């Protein structure tokens, strides 16, 4: 079956003309039509555009052109602007917004010959840890449709896990690629801040947001990240540094690699989750890696720090949605103030309003120094902890999430408990570091993820470490029942 093949295997078959891109697109479009109603992972299907792009890819292939993504289908998270296609960000505020341009990563992947099948559901404006805050309803985990898939890239991760596309795109502000990847049993990569352009990605927290990829394996993710990454003059936060050949680096030997075990990540971790991470570390040891326990003393402060910094930036970024220029506008406003108040009150959901209010408060006169400035100082301490750790080790390893997927509705009324789901992922965002989550086992028949974090611009080493682990295990090959 075509949906069981890796990106590399599909590319080889396309190049050999054993299958066509049109055939491939139709196969995945049919799977979405059949399987998506039970998941709610895809909210916009672009069948006509997909078939047109597939025909163009077939013409390029027939002319002898070759590319590792030429003719390969994908699904974009609905936070990336896509020319001529609705870009809603999971919000009523942008339900009617048709983007006039492509985000840089959309343009890059389109130039490589990929075929966009549609846009995936997400937490509203990427604010959430469970994909329950979307205007279009919650996404369901294909391993158990009563459970959440994680957020905010839960639509992308669920689509990847259910094999609705060979790979999907996502964004990670506080763990929103790695956390859903762990809860749905796929591989999720968050690159270094500035490695992938943010141009055309609707902003939540500008100093934290980073685009990335969700795929079956580190090998597939490496192929995609090579295309996505690179300097973009349209993005002032983009870093002008060469992009390595991630695929070529996958087989770099692990012997002598120093892996740091994060002491703080195991404090209070559920015992069965901890056992799976310890088992994964034994696999690395058997392959010649050395494990060293390290401590990041300020890391436990990452959650409160994040929930000051991120809402502050969200308050600023979302001020543009006022009902005047584009997006949702209330009916028959009495005056300008009524237009602002009702458009924003009706257009935003509860979680977005909560974060805007929090962010406005911490930035207000009299509270800026007490909250926002102090949070930025703690952020520096957390970054310094990581820097000191990487003087001793090459990578850090720990769990991606404290528990497997939880029930839909279980935490939606308790924001603080919900926020703690990102306790192991937020630190990397505050420090701008790259991270990857890879499947490492199951608890109660639900997938569990192992997280690898590296120094800035160490994506090649992270992908290689995950790839070696996946060659030695088969957790990443598991597919949820009913989606094989």
The two structure tokens encoding residue 470: 């996946």
Q: For the chain, how big is the Rg over CA atoms in Å?
A: 21
Give me the mean pLDDT over the 380-395 stretch. Answer: 98
Give me the mean pLDDT over the 177-203 stretch. Answer: 98
Contact 243, 222 (CB under 8 A): no
Q: Count Cβ atoms below 10 Å from residue 380 Cβ, excluding itself.
A: 12
Q: What pLDDT does residue 225 have?
A: 98
Q: What is the mean pLDDT of the chain?
A: 97
Chain-centre distance for alpha carbon 315: 22
DSSP category for residue 191: P
Question: What is d(CA 218, CA 186) in angstroms, rounded to the nearest whole number?
Answer: 9
Which percentage of the chain shows pLDDT scores above 70?
A: 100
Contact 318, 125 (CB under 8 A): yes
Give me the mean pLDDT over the 164-177 stretch. Answer: 98
| Known catalytic residue at 77 | yes
Domain boundaries, the chain: 2-256+393-477
The tens digit of pLDDT for each residue in 444-477 reads 999 999 999 999 999 999 999 999 999 999 999 9
Enumerate the β-bridge partners of residue 443.
446
Contact 25, 117 (CB under 8 A): yes
Question: What is d(CA 449, CA 143) in angstroms, rounded to the nearest whole number?
Answer: 14
pTM of the model: 0.97
* Nearest Cα residue to 219 out of 401, 66, 10: 10
* Nearest Cα residue to 150 out of 134, 167, 166: 134
Question: What is d(CA 167, CA 314) in angstroms, rounded to the nearest whole number?
Answer: 28
Question: What is d(CA 116, CA 176) in angstroms, rounded to the nearest whole number?
Answer: 21
Question: What is d(CA 279, CA 290) in angstroms, rounded to the nearest whole number?
Answer: 14
User: Going by DSSP bridges, is the β-strand pair 435-443/395-399 parallel, antiparallel, or unpaired?
Assistant: unpaired
Buried b (16+ CB within 10 A) or exposed e, 1-15: ebbebbbbebbebbb
DSSP category for residue 8: H
Active-site option among 88, 176, 217, 343: 176
Question: What is d(CA 395, CA 452) in angstroms, rounded to the nearest whole number?
Answer: 7
Q: What pLDDT does residue 259 have?
A: 98
Contact 476, 439 (CB under 8 A): yes
SS3 432: coil
| Known catalytic residue at 153 | no
Q: Count Cβ atoms below 10 Å from residue 286 Cβ, excluding itself.
A: 10
The tens digit of pLDDT for each residue in 10-40 reads 999 999 999 999 999 999 999 999 999 999 9
| Known catalytic residue at 478 | no
Chain-centre distance for alpha carbon 313: 19
**CATH architecture label of 2-256+393-477:** Alpha-Beta Complex (3.90)
The tens digit of pLDDT for each residue in 48-93 reads 999 999 999 999 999 999 999 999 999 999 999 999 999 999 999 9
Give me the mean pLDDT over the 95-106 stretch. Answer: 98
Contact 109, 103 (CB under 8 A): no
The two structure tokens encoding residue 243: 């992009």
Q: What pLDDT does residue 471 have?
A: 97
* Cα separation of the two ends of the chain: 9
Sign of CA dihedral 276, 277, 278, 281: positive
Question: What is d(CA 275, CA 273) in angstroms, rounded to the nearest whole number?
Answer: 5
DSSP category for residue 4: G
Question: What is d(CA 322, CA 345) in angstroms, rounded to the nearest whole number?
Answer: 10
For the CA atoms of 35, 40, 42, 45, what is the dihedral angle to 10 degrees?
70
Question: What is d(CA 299, CA 144) in angstroms, rounded to the nearest whole number?
Answer: 32
Contacts of 236 (CB under 8 A, 6+ apart): none
Enumerate the β-bridge partners of residue 116.
74
DSSP category for residue 243: P
Active-site option among 20, 21, 129, 152: 152
Tokens 């205007």 sit on residue: 135
Phi, then psi, of 42 in degrees rounded to 5: -115, 125
The tens digit of pLDDT for each residue in 274-309 reads 999 999 999 999 999 999 999 999 999 999 999 999
Whether residue 268 has pLDDT greater than 80: no
Question: What is d(CA 291, CA 281) in angstroms, rounded to the nearest whole number?
Answer: 8
Sign of CA dihedral 219, 221, 222, 227: positive
Enumerate the β-bridge partners of residue 213.
169, 189
Give me the mean pLDDT over the 410-437 stretch. Answer: 94
Strands (E), 295-414: 395-399
Tokens 């580190």 sit on residue: 218
Phi, then psi, of 75 in degrees rounded to 5: -125, 130
């Amino acid at each position: 079956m075509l949906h069981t093949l890796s990106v590399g295997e599909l590319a080889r078959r396309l190049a050999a003309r054993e299958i066509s891109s049109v055939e491939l697109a139709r196969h995945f479009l049919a799977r979405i039509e059949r399987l998506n109603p039970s998941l709610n992972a895809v909210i916009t299907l672009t069948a006509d555009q997909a078939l047109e792009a597939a025909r163009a890819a077939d013409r390029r292939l027939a002319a002898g052109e070759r590319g590792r993504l030429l003719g390969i289908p994908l699904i974009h998270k609905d936070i990336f602007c896509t020319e001529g296609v609705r870009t809603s960000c999971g919000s009523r505020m942008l339900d009617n917004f048709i983007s006039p341009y492509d985000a840089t990563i959309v343009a890059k992947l389109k130039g490589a010959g990929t075929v966009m099948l549609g846009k995936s559901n997400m937490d509203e404006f990427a604010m959430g840890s469970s994909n329950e805050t979307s205007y279009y309803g919650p996404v369901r985990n294909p391993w158990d449709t009563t459970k959440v898939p994680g957020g905010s890239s839960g639509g992308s991760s669920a689509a990847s896990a259910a094999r609705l596309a060979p790979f999907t795109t996502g964004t990670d502000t506080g763990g929103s690629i790695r956390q859903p990847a762990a809860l749905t049993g796929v591989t999720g990569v968050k690159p270094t801040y500035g490695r992938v352009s943010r141009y055309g990605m609707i902003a939540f927290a500008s100093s934290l947001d980073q685009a990335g990829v969700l795929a079956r394996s580190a090998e597939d993710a490496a192929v995609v990240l090579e295309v996505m990454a690179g300097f973009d003059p349209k993005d002032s936060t983009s870093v002008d540094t060469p992009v390595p050949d991630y695929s070529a680096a996958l087989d770099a030997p692990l012997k002598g690699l120093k892996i740091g075990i994060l002491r703080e990540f195991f404090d209070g971790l559920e015992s069965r989750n901890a056992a799976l991470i310890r088992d994964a570390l034994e696999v690395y040891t058997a392959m010649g890696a050395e494990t060293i326990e390290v401590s990041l003393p300020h890391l436990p402060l990452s959650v409160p720090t994040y929930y000051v910094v991120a809402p502050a930036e969200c308050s600023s970024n979302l001020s543009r949605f006022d009902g005047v220029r584009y997006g949702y506008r209330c009916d028959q406003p009495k005056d300008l103030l009524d237009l602002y108040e009702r458009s924003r009150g009706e257009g935003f959901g509860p979680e977005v309003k909560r974060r805007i209010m929090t962010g406005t408060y911490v930035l207000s006169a009299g509270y800026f120094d007490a909250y926002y400035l102090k949070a930025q100082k703690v952020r520096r301490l957390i970054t310094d902890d990581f820097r000191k750790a990487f003087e001793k080790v090459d990578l850090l390893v720990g769990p991606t999430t404290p528990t497997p997927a939880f029930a839909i509705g279980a935490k939606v009324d308790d924001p603080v408990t919900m926020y703690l789901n990102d306790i192991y992922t937020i630190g990397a965002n505050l420090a701008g570091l790259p991270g990857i989550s890879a499947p490492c086992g199951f608890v109660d028949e639900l997938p569990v993820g192992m997280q690898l974090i590296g120094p800035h611009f160490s994506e090649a080493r992270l992908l290689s470490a995950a790839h070696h682990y996946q060659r030695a295990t088969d957790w990443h090959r598991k597919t949820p029942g009913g989606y094989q």
